[in-house]
Amino acid sequence: MLLTGDEFNRLFQTFESSAFKMETRDRYDVEGEREEFQAFLDGADMPEDWEDSPWVRSMTGAGKRLQRVHILRSPLNDYLRFELGWGYVGNVRAGEDIRIIDLADREIDGLPEHDFWLFDDARVYRMHYGEDDEFLGAEPLGEESLPKYRAYRDASWKLAVPYVEYWQQQA
């Protein structure tokens, strides 16, 4: 059973102290970002309301830790340039700790090739996407999966470069 809509969104309202996301994709089709993505492609400036993410701040402002590692490969495609150049700016400003692993510089074994969320070190959800990069839902994984996903988080965190440092190198 995949969690979608309100069921999936409730995960972000109910976690107590920490949420970690591993991203492995080079494109996400997010309905709420389509207009902004097109504006980015058209050369527009980043909208002011993207400079500080209210969604992230709702969690970090309550003392919750939000972390992400994005595994990618440069050169960056248009979507990744948009995500890193616009989307991550407001998330970092709002308190999310984002890090990057660029596989153009090295190969890394032992990390998954799929996205997941790990909440409070106690619940893990594997993310599923369709052929057109749209989010299909989050699959709750059993408690037996926790050690493996905690290890993925810990290993990726040690290998990753802080977002700001990575992005400055891209400019």
What is the per-residue pLDDT across 47-92, written as a single tens digit (0 to 9) for each? 998 999 999 999 999 999 999 999 999 999 999 999 999 999 999 9
Mean residue pLDDT of the chain comes to: 96
Structural domains of the chain ordered from first start: 5-170 (3.30.870.10)
Which is more confidently placed, 127 or 105?
Answer: 127
The predicted pLDDT at position 142 comes to 97
**What average pLDDT score do residues 96-109 get?**
94
Say how many Å lie between the first and final Cα of the chain, rounded. 42
Residues 6+ apart with CB under 8 A from 163: 84, 88, 92, 98, 99, 100
> Whole-angstrom Cα distance, residue 86 to residue 33?
11
Q: Which residue type occupies 137?
A: G
Structure tokens at 45: 């400036």
Looking at the predicted structure, is the pLDDT value of residue 156 above 90?
A: yes
Looking at the predicted structure, is the pLDDT value of residue 171 above 80?
A: no
The predicted pLDDT at position 105 comes to 78
The predicted pLDDT at position 31 comes to 85
Closest C-alpha among 107, 109, 90, 108 to residue 98: 90
- Chain CA centroid to CA 121, Å: 17
Least confident of 5-9, 10-14, 45-49, 140-144: 45-49
Residue 32 pLDDT class (50, 70, 90 cuts) = confident
Looking at the predicted structure, is the pLDDT value of residue 127 above 80?
A: yes
> Whole-angstrom Cα distance, residue 8 to residue 137?
8
Residue 99 CB coordination number (10 Å): 20
